[in-house]
Amino acid sequence: MEGLDRSGKTTQTQKLCEHLQRTNTVKLIKFPDRTTPIGKMIDAYLRSQSELDDRAIHLLFSANRWECAGTIEAELRAGNTVICDRYAFSGVAFSASKSSLSYEWCKAPDISLPAPDAVVFLDISPEVAQQRGGYGEERYEKEEMQRTVRQIFRKIETDTAQANGHIIWATIDASGTLDEVQQRIQKAVEPLNGGITGEIQRLWM
């Protein structure tokens, strides 16, 4: 599950989880995982309690996924459903919105992570996002940056289709009511309800 800040992503992810739990064992993983030593460094950076080089923070976000990659694979092998609240797509979109980092450089550390079967991107205009509560609390919650992030997500969608044609990419309008948006999300992931067979695919390979 991906989206701009204040797109309602965390609430919608939780609801999707509850919905899928009726029929599957579901593991929900939130990135960044702020509980690990790496996650604590990320958390301090996001809350502007520490300063880090743009490359260093990008690599920490990626390392935070890699430290969980084994768990994700184990869950998938056990036949469980894994839902990630943000993943490598956020990693690229947010970092590459900084003028200091190139798009290709940002992709590199996440290449070959376990690939998702579907990406749900909750799309919202930065203007609407800004009106929602709490906007501006964390480092990246600035309208101009969110605008660039949104554009980069569109590029990632095209790129991912080329490299991983099997991934369902659903861009969902996140501006309706909670229930309306949830219905759209559930419909988008319906094709996966029968389960996935075969090898775990690798991202951007």
Bond before 37 cis per omega within 30 degrees: no
Residue 45 is a binding residue for ligand TMP (CB under 6 A) = no
The CA-CA-CA angle for residues 39, 42, 48, to 5°, reads 145
| Contact status: 13 vs ligand TMP (CB under 6 A) | no
Residue type, 4: L
Min separation Cβ 47 and ligand TMP, Å? 10
**Residues 122-161 interacting with ligand TMP (rule: CB under 6 A):** 138, 140
Write down the least CB distance from residue 57 to ligand TMP, Å.
Answer: 8
Sequence-separated (6 or more) residues with CB below 8 Å from residue 81: 20, 24, 25, 26, 27
Distance between CA atoms of residues 11 and 178, nearest Å = 9
Check the CA dihedral 14-18-23-26 and report its sign: positive
Does the footprint of ligand TMP cover residue 94 (CB under 6 A)? yes
Residue 189 binds ligand TMP (CB under 6 A): no
Of 31, 45, 121, 169, the one binding ligand TMP by CB under 6 A = 31
Site string for ligand TMP, 67-86 (x = CB under 6 A): -------------------x
List residues near ligand TMP by CB under 6 A.
Answer: 5, 31-32, 46, 61, 86, 90-91, 94-95, 138, 140
